[in-house]
Structure 1
């Protein structure tokens, strides 16, 4: 096993297991250092015992490198692989739907509040077996997450085009997680949204807004032809100190989603699990489409999708109404249909 491969695999498994960020960063940093060495330098430094003199490599990462260079699988990696064999959800729940998924509609890179470059996120999605994935960094208003200004978003589109030229047939689709403004408007220039393959719309501010006002806000957003997926609809957090659900008329919001063809996201993040089961069942009854997404902020988190799949199966979500089961042509035909309506009736 190559040293870089071992270090990156360890980082992936640590992220998957929700390890502290500092621990993950240690292995990703070491991988970057090793990747930057000239040919032969790694073996020479390992033989001389001088690896740890390099900034970014400590005793644990040096040990992993040494074991990989010796031709074996590092012991730490073996232990993590063993732990990863335990399913993320009990009883194999979600595995049937997960096997049908072709992509993920919601992931972040270090262009906003993710921890890894766009290329690393795309490669991880491809290596998990996806045919496509959508890059959805935050919009400008979410400054705490380093949201993308129109200029930065335009730059990112060029980067994605360059990567896709190297990755075919896998495709990284262009997108954004666009803040829903107080009046239900979308936080990005319409002309730029029209250039994107897919738009996730989410509430990130004034989560305790009065229920009637929140309902109007969300209905306006999901009815916008530029909106494709309603992200983490209640905004709740179920771990740590937690955060209560936003209050809104679920029937009205999900009916609006069904009318507009906007998918309701089943957010797979363990701290979100949004929407709650009772609301997920209401969205099924309303006839809405769904997107089972990871909202991943690191490569290892892309493997959390089975958590959302388990909730979808439990709540009776029909697989044919899950947009992640569609091939890229069908997905883009769906998102493009609403944009076409805008051109017909601007």
Structure 2
């Protein structure tokens, strides 16, 4: 039975990846910072067979201990401070976990394997945010990086550190340069989930508007469940390498709003959406769209979900969740509105 260790197992990608690996017969271990982590119950509900280990990407000894306990064949480093908008307010923390945390995990593997790093295959979650102010359209593995946020800068550090350990120590280390990928498990703070959750609550009369930043920003959005398969495929290759994972199709935030509101029968959404200049990024990334030709050719990977069906699935899931809240014992609609943060 192959064994895998996932950092960031409590997040969207970690949960989908754990499900995939378990279905493939893996014994899966998940790294969490403290068993009192509020997201632990979610992991136990969705993937109860995952064995949770204490560890922190800011603490090298804890990573070594987790590796010694799990004895993994594969390590998937998904842990990060991943909300781009907050990275300007938490630049040091973002750099410490999202950037230097990659170095610590690679160093922990080197220590765990006693300098035989090739025995443990390593996946690093790189990001399309590394391209930032893009030099070409679409972006490929050869496109130069120009990150426009502390998050993007930290991801570039982690990416090149992964390359360095591969070239310096013979690590079987891969980076997946994943473009935006979403699902009903996406955090509420991300724009896709903020929109689909807000639309669902507007449809149910629980709020009347959504407050957003730049509606013109364009992204290449795919389904997280498709993208974790690409992660696994990378580590099954004989030679480690880096791959862009994307749909190759770009949509604006306005397109996102069109599809989401149409799903609940609202055609004219202008009165429900407020733009707040405070939500604009200090340095905007206007257009990201990836060319995943290399992954298609060498991994045999391609996305199965398209944008409209993804957004509709997310809206439907948020409608169901909000409806359950409304009808839960001892809760009134006012309670649900207050939990949602009022009318905004």
TM-score by shorter chain over 0.5: no
> Could you say which structure has the higher helix fraction?
1
> Could you say which structure has the higher strand fraction?
2
TM-score by length of 1: 0.28
Larger Rg: 1
